[in-house]
Amino acid sequence: MVTAKIAPSLLSSDFARLADECERMLTLGADYLHMDIMDGHFVPNLTLGAPIIKSLRPHTKGFLDCHLMVSNPEQWVDDFADAGADLFCFHYEATNNAAVLIDKIHAKGMKAGMAIKPNTPIDVAFEFCPKLDQVLVMTVEPGFGGQAFMPDCMQKVRELRKRFPDLDIEVDGGLDPENIEVAAEAGANVIVAGSSIFKAKSPGDVILLFRKVVSEAQPSP
């Protein structure tokens, strides 16, 4: 049985108060802290990197779910492990040898995740799923926050869930109270949301709603 995990995207937080924002999200019920790592090459935006994760680590016990939207993710495994990342999620499209990379991530004591862009067919992930801790199905093009959710990507989630009933399946991009039910019913159990949580009048209520919808969508044991 997979469980609901809500992962606020700190990309939508106040970076000047990053540690405080992390603790606020955990207090409001977040399970993961989703950290968007962008290099300005694999995606056109530039955000935080391993030095900021390392600075943040002593100030939070939260699970740091690091999504690396970077070229050549292999070169950053050691840095993120040393920084204290809990999960290292690379893009399938950014590596030439996913199997070796997964082993390297695990050898450094981190969980391994693999992200799939909207136009990448989901079957490329199947051979790696038995070794992965999580698969991230992007529901927007990676690189910017605030984009609209792409419902067509839910077919990928359905196929993954059918084949791998115990796998953590994460969705990221445009998730909000209006479409969370679609994602949950498709089989997603790890929900990344930035704007819809941080810009809400009551972020805690949004986290609670997400958890309730995802939990109710899970099959009975």
Is 67 annotated to bind ligand? yes
Length of the chain: 221
How many angstroms from the chain centroid is the CA of residue 34? 6
DSSP H or E stretch at residue 37: strand 32-38
Among the listed residues 31, 36, 86, 168, the single catalytic one is 36
DSSP H or E stretch at residue 88: strand 87-91
Is 106 annotated to bind ligand? no
Is 34 annotated to bind ligand? yes
Q: How far apart are CA 170 and CA 184, in angstroms?
A: 10
Is 40 annotated to bind ligand? no
Is 152 annotated to bind ligand? no
Among the listed residues 86, 166, 172, 205, the single catalytic one is 172
Is 202 annotated to bind ligand? no
**Residue pointed to by tokens 């009048």:** 201
Spell out the residues 6+ positions from residue 207 whose beta carbon is closer than 8 angstroms to its own.
Answer: 6, 8, 25, 28, 29, 30, 197
Is 126 annotated to bind ligand? no
- Is 31 marked active-site? no
Alpha helices in the chain (DSSP H): 18-27, 50-56, 77-83, 98-107, 154-163, 180-186, 195-198, 203-217
- Is 172 marked active-site? yes
Is 36 annotated to bind ligand? yes
What are the catalytic residues? Answer: 36, 172
Binding residues for substrate: 9, 67, 143-146, 174, 194-195
